[in-house]
């Protein structure tokens, strides 16, 4: 027997390893495995070659990752061939076939190894032979991994699911928007690794950055900075007003197009919070970190970190302050991991936010912050807990500045921020309310104690609230975009004497981030309200007035203010209308089978009293549409007329998938629907 190890070839057993490592969905035909779990490759030796034997002092295996692999950085590891593998470190064992020429080589990776692209080499007496490359990911199935998650259903939802729901609207009109995360599409994993390689920390110190990729806390914080492009050449450019030169955020139906465009030509225009969060979720899941998209309704943006949102108005009821705001909704991501830097009690879901709002350590990023820290008001726990705590817990105070300069409180709330915090339920398209994971019930003893503790952290005192006249806003039942409808403000006098006041009633277009646009309605009246009675003031909202000024979010903010200057009594009420959108009907015209074209009919009724121009349907879905989504342009659709088109697509994968459809035009955008499609294997019995 020769003393030289002569390797004829190496079979990386891609299909077998991908199946056991839950990486089979990746379309990329290469070895992708998860850390802390053994994988097996087959080494074919040439006749007469020395065999692979355990405890051979002259035989070692070497794995390395990154441009500057070093032993001290854990980016280069050398380990011998042993009788068996060890599940806490890099190790190897082997078995031989009877002839001795085929060796089944089992490699165990460390559950704390940096993720990334690795090379595997065997070194025998200084002669090195490369066996191949593999990509190593975090492993939610491995109890020794920092991202380990109990429960197969949860792992399937938060790591493997390629489709999801992102919730938008207001707390009273919550609507799920389908999204194709597409983390397993061809080329997406390489782009996710490129995001890590393009981050400034890698550019300044590649060795330290690659070494730190063992830590999901570090990787998540890098992603929260790199998904936006404010400080670097990150993925998305945020824009809320002027979408010239890019794609309106509402037109995206999935992450794949965004990531491919970024890889080809740099920062993609444009994104808003749900797009930033969806891309962050895709990248996290691709890298193996369990992740969910979360929507917070009534989300505070506390720019001065005092846990109070102060809105200042003049005596005409117009807002005169900028800075703090309350968004109708805001979307971020939660990622699952341990927090050894904080303590075991802070393990679990960690909030991070890639939408660029405020800087953290000089960079537009946010988190990860432990949900436990947010719920308990532990604002000294990193990262960015005070900002996220305020998003779900800040109190709101509305103040009117009188002509003499005096500020008078007209309303306030301790309950309007952080409502119906939502995510997609496990193994279901239903909405799951997770508010109790972020905060104690509003008004409860625990909630107020946590708020006071947080205020003490910021050296502030809580403001009180003294309601006078009761003021409410009531909405119509049917408010579809394109229709005219009435709303009204009602003033109830709970006092023992008649009250007289001026009632101002405004309607303005508003973006989901709370930014007010142009007026689309106003009325006022001097009301005399007898004791124990109520008076109404109606406001008609006509499409001809609101249509030209609303955004694609289809939101109108109503504000009512009562003014009694004699008794210095002021009250305010607000309500946001989410206009109903038309329904996109999706009808399959045949059975879906692998690699067989199938037709689908798409229809939508134009509800507007005017024509829609530049109309198009976009169709996408992982495993259904290969590559970029299909866009079908249909031009003009007349008022109250039906838009109809037939699309054809060829499924590439068998199993259950989601077909996502989006309608866009000059006046109606971001109209989406989805259906489940079961793709069957092609019948080859007659071939």
pLDDT digits 0-9 by tens, 575-623: 999 999 999 999 999 999 999 999 999 999 999 999 999 999 999 998 8
Residue 466's pLDDT is 35
Task: Provide the strand spans (E) within 184-234.
Answer: none
CA 637 – CA 343 distance, rounded (Å): 59
Residue 1's pLDDT is 52
Of 194, 192, 165, 162, which is closest to residue 25 (Cα–Cα)? Answer: 162
67 and 53 in contact (C-beta within 8 Å)? no
Beta pairing class for 630-637 and 671-679: unpaired
CA 457 – CA 524 distance, rounded (Å): 43
196 and 215 in contact (C-beta within 8 Å)? no
Q: Which 3 state secondary structure label does DSSP give 258?
A: helix
Sign of the C-alpha dihedral computed for residues 36, 41, 46 and 52 taken in this order:
positive
**pTM for this entry:** 0.88
Q: What are phi and psi of 261, to 5 degrees?
A: -65, -40
Annotation marks residue 353 as catalytic: yes
10-residue mean pLDDT series, the chain (687 residues): 82 97 95 98 91 88 97 97 96 88 95 98 94 98 98 98 95 93 96 97 95 98 98 94 93 95 98 98 98 97 82 84 84 98 96 95 96 94 93 90 85 89 96 97 85 67 47 93 97 86 96 90 95 92 96 93 85 93 96 95 97 96 87 96 96 91 93 94 66
Q: How far apart are the two ends of the chain, measured CA to CA in Å?
A: 50
CA 176 – CA 651 distance, rounded (Å): 25
Of 498, 465, 496, which is closest to residue 564 (Cα–Cα)? Answer: 498
The pair of structure tokens assigned to 472 is 């409410």
The pair of structure tokens assigned to 461 is 């005192």
Identify the bridge partners of residue 431 per DSSP, sorted by sequence position. Answer: 424
Annotated catalytic residue within 145, 353, 384, 395: 353
CA separation (Å) from 654 to 651, 677, 679?
Answer: 8, 10, 5
CA 155 – CA 150 distance, rounded (Å): 8
Residue 310's pLDDT is 86
Residue 209's pLDDT is 97
CA separation (Å) from 526 to 505, 536, 537, 556?
Answer: 12, 11, 10, 24
The pair of structure tokens assigned to 580 is 């109903």
Inter-axis angle of helices 256-265 and 188-197, to 10 degrees? 50
Widest CA span of the chain, in angstroms? 109
Residue 398's pLDDT is 87
Beta pairing class for 363-364 and 325-337: unpaired
Neighbours of 555 (CB within 10 A): 22
Sign of the C-alpha dihedral computed for residues 146, 152, 153 and 155 taken in this order:
positive
Q: Which 3 state secondary structure label does DSSP give 188?
A: helix
CA 450 – CA 439 distance, rounded (Å): 9
Residue 42's pLDDT is 97
Of 350, 44, 63, 39, which is closest to residue 223 (Cα–Cα)? Answer: 350
Element (H, E) at 217: helix 216-226
Residue 619's pLDDT is 95
Q: What share of the chain is helix, strand, coil (3-state, %, to 5)?
A: 15, 40, 40
81 and 52 in contact (C-beta within 8 Å)? yes
Residue 135's pLDDT is 98
Annotation marks residue 273 as catalytic: yes
CA separation (Å) from 179 to 25, 30, 261, 662?
Answer: 18, 27, 18, 11
Compute the half-sphere exposure of residue 677: CA atoms within 13 Å on the CB side of its CA: 34
Annotated catalytic residue within 10, 192, 210, 273: 273
CA 562 – CA 491 distance, rounded (Å): 8
Count of residues in the chain: 687
Annotation marks residue 330 as catalytic: yes
393 and 309 in contact (C-beta within 8 Å)? no
Q: Is 121 exposed, middle or buried (0-12, 13-18, 19+ CB in 10 A)?
A: middle
Phi-psi region of 187 (alpha: psi -120 to 50; beta: other; left: phi over 0): left
Neighbours of 9 (CB within 10 A): 10
Query: Which are the contacts of 51, defined by CB distance < 8 A and separation ≥ 6?
Result: 1, 45, 96, 100, 103
Residue 458's pLDDT is 59
Q: Tokens 């943006």 appear where?
A: 301
Annotated catalytic residue within 210, 330, 384, 571: 330
Residue 461's pLDDT is 32
Query: Which are the contacts of 560, defined by CB distance < 8 A and separation ≥ 6?
Result: 471, 473, 489, 503, 504, 505, 506, 537, 572, 573, 574
CA 104 – CA 93 distance, rounded (Å): 8
Q: Which 3 state secondary structure label does DSSP give 286?
A: helix
């Amino acid at each position: 027997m020769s003393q030289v190890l002569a390797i004829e070839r190496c079979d990386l057993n891609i299909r077998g390893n991908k199946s056991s490592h839950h990486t089979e969905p990746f379309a990329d035909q290469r070895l992708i495995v998860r850390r802390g779990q053994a994988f097996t490759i087959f080494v074919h030796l040439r006749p007469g070659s020395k065999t692979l034997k355990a405890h051979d002092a002259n035989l070692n295996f070497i794995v390395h990752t990154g441009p500057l692999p070093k032993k001290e950085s854990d980016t280069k590891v050398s380990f011998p061939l042993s009788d068996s593998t060890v599940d806490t470190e890099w190790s190897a064992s082997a078995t031989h076939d009877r002839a001795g020429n085929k060796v089944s080589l089992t490699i165990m990776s460390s559950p704390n190894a940096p993720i990334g692209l690795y090379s595997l080499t065997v070194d025998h007496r200084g002669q090195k032979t490369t066996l191949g490359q593999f990509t190593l990911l975090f492993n939610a199935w491995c109890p020794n991994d920092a991202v380990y998650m109990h429960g197969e259903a949860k792992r399937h939802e938060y790591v493997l699911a390629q489709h999801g729901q992102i919730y938008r609207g207001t707390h009273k009109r919550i609507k799920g928007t389908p999204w194709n995360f597409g983390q397993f599409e061809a080329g997406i994993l390489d782009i996710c690794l490129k995001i890590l390689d393009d981050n400034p920390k890698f550019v300044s110190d590649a060795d330290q950055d690659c070494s730190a990729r063992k830590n999901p806390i570090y990787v998540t914080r890098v992603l929260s900075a790199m998904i936006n492009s404010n400080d670097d050449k990150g993925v998305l450019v945020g824009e809320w007003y002027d979408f010239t030169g890019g794609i309106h955020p509402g037109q995206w139906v999935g992450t794949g197009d965004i990531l491919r465009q970024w890889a080809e030509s740099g920062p993609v225009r444009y994104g808003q919070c749900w797009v930033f969060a969806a891309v962050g979720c895709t990248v996290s899941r691709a890298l193996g970190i369990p992740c969910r998209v979360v929507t917070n309704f009534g989300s505070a943006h506390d720019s001065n970190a005092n846990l109070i949102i102060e809105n200042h108005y003049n005596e005409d009821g117009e807002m005169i302050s900028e800075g703090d705001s309350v968004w109708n909704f805001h979307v971020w991501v939660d990622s699952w991991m341990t927090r050894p830097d904080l303590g075991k009690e802070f393990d679990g879901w960690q909030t991070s936010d890639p939408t660029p709002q405020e800087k953290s350590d000089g960079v537009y990023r946010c988190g990860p912050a432990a949900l436990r820290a947010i719920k308990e008001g532990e604002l000294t726990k990193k990262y960015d807990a005070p900002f996220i705590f305020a998003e779900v817990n800040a109190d709101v105070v509305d103040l009117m500045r009188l002509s003499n300069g005096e500020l008078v409180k007209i309303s306030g709330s301790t309950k309007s921020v952080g409502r119906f915090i939502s995510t997609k339920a496990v193994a279901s398209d239903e909405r799951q309310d997770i508010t109790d994971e972020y905060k104690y019930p509003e008004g409860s003893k625990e909630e107020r104690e946590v708020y006071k503790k947080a205020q003490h952290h910021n050296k502030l005192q809580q403001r009180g609230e003294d309601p006078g006249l009761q003021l409410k806003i009531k909405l119509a039942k049917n408010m579809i975009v394109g229709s005219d409808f009435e709303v009204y403000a009602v003033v109830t006098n709970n006092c023992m004497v008649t009250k007289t006041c001026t009632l101002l009633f405004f309607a303005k277009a508003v973006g989901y981030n709370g930014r007010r646009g142009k007026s689309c309605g106003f009325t006022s009246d001097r009301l005399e309200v007898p004791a124990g009675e109520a008076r109404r003031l109606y406001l008609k909202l006509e499409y001809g007035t609101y249509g030209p000024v609303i955004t694609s979010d289809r939101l109108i903010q109503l504000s009512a203010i009562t003014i009694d200057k004699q008794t210095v009594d002021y009250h305010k009420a607000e309500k946001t209308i989410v206009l109903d959108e038309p329904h996109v009907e999706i009808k399959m015209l045949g059975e879906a089978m692998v690699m067989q074209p199938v037709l689908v009919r798409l229809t939508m009724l134009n509800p507007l009293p005017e024509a829609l121009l530049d109309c198009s349907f976009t169709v996408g879905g992982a495993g259904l549409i290969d590559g970029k989504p299909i866009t079908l342009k249909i031009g003009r659709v007349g008022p109250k007329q039906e838009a109809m088109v037939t699309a054809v697509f060829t499924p590439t994968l068998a199993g259950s998938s989601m077909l996502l459809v989006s309608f866009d035009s000059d006046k109606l955008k971001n109209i989406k629907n989805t259906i489940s499609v079961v793709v069957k294997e092609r019948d080859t019995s007659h071939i």
